């Protein structure tokens, strides 16, 4: 069957289309994105298309998750090629609303997941996860998916969304997908497009830090201080500005002093003006 992809911009129309899709094609999957699609996004979309009868991809650069002075205005955008990618992947609907359709005049409802949002990126970006949780909940209510696909690349976001789905009985399956990397280890990110050549070369030291800590863990090191020190040394080689290096409990996001199997190292660092994040499970 040839699928003709629809591009929908209005929440009401999307809700109507989702109702019809769900009755014809279940399970209905959703892959929320901010566009500028790369192979990381594509891996989520491909997984969704193999596991769902129909898939909606949302493309929405959510203004409410960017703080003052962050890169909202500079966030990369490539809608035409994103639509082509989605069409080739036989997506049923791309939902690409304008900001004022998601946040109409007088908008006043917000979702907070305070404990999980407190540390790591939440500590440096106040209000970020409130914006994420609110928009993701809205996308669920507009697109009415049964399965939703998120990347482990944004690990704190994934854990927080799982919590929100449980707490609010949202009734969707949250599927976490592994991080897709460039050949040299750099985690794919839409923001990589904004790196200058020299910054792109320095950015690889973020994943090198993670892999160095993982090697140490496999060799038996469990002291978080030692693991952080090793990662720190790699990051210094790239001359990046470190926001945080933490080893966390993978469910509570609490920072640890002693690492255990499947705890995760998470790093955020600025390369020039571009803030990048990455994380890796520590497994021996």
Distance CA 38, CA 106 (A): 35
Q: Which is nearer to ligand AMP, 129 or 259 (CB)?
A: 129
What are all long-range contacts of 1-5, with beta carbons under 8 Å and residues at least 24 apart?
Answer: 3/90, 3/91, 3/92, 5/83, 5/86, 5/87, 5/90, 5/91, 5/92, 5/93, 5/94
In whole angstroms, the minimum distance from the beta carbon of 154 to ligand AMP comes to: 4
Q: Give the active site residue among 38, 41, 128, 232.
A: 41
Q: Which is nearer to ligand AMP, 40 or 97 (CB)?
A: 40
The site for ligand AMP (CB under 6 A) is made up of: 33-34, 40-41, 43-44, 150-151, 153-154, 177, 179-180, 187-190
In whole angstroms, the minimum distance from the beta carbon of 155 to ligand AMP comes to: 8
Q: Which is nearer to ligand AMP, 48 or 180 (CB)?
A: 180
Please give the C-alpha separations between residue 62 and each of 11, 39, 67, 101, 150, in angstroms, as whole numbers. 15, 21, 11, 11, 16
Q: Which is nearer to ligand AMP, 190 or 268 (CB)?
A: 190
In whole angstroms, the minimum distance from the beta carbon of 43 to ligand AMP comes to: 6
In whole angstroms, the minimum distance from the beta carbon of 162 to ligand AMP comes to: 12
The verdict on whether 38 is a catalytic residue reads no
Residue 259 has φ and ψ, to the nearest 5°, of: -80, 150
DSSP 142-185: HH--SEEEEEGGGHHHHHHHHHHHHHTT---EEEEEPPPB-TTS
Residues labelled as active-site residues: 41
């Amino acid at each position: 069957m040839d699928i003709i992809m629809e591009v929908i911009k209005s929440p009401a129309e999307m809700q109507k289309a989702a109702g019809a899709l769900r009755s014809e094609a279940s399970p209905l999957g959703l892959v929320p994105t901010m566009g500028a699609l790369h192979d990381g996004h594509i891996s989520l979309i491909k997984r969704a298309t193999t596991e769902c009868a129909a898939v909606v991809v949302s493309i929405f650069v959510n203004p409410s998750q960017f703080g003052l002075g962050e890169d909202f205005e500079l966030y990369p955008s490539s809608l035409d090629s994103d639509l082509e990618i989605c069409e080739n992947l036989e997506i049923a609907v791309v939902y690409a609303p304008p900001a004022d359709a998601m946040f109409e005049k007088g908008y006043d409802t917000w979702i907070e997941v305070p404990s999980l949002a407190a540390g790591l990126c939440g500590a440096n970006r106040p209000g970020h996860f409130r914006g994420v949780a609110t928009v993701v909940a809205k996308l669920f209510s507009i697109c009415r998916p049964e399965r939703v696909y998120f990347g482990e690349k944004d690990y704190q976001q994934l854990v927080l969304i799982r919590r929100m789905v449980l707490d609010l009985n949202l009734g969707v399956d949250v599927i976490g997908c592994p991080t897709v990397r460039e050949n040299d280890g750099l985690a794919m990110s839409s923001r990589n497009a904004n790196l200058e050549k020299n910054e792109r070369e320095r950015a690889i030291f973020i994943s090198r830090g993670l892999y160095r800590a993982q090697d140490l863990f496999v060799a038996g090191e469990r002291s978080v201080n030692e693991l952080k020190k090793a990662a720190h040394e790699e990051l210094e080689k790239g001359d990046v500005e470190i926001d945080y290096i933490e080893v966390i409990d993978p469910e509570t996001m609490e920072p640890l002093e002693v690492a255990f199997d499947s705890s995760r190292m998470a790093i955020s660092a600025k390369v020039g003006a571009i803030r990048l994040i990455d994380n890796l499970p520590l497994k021996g």
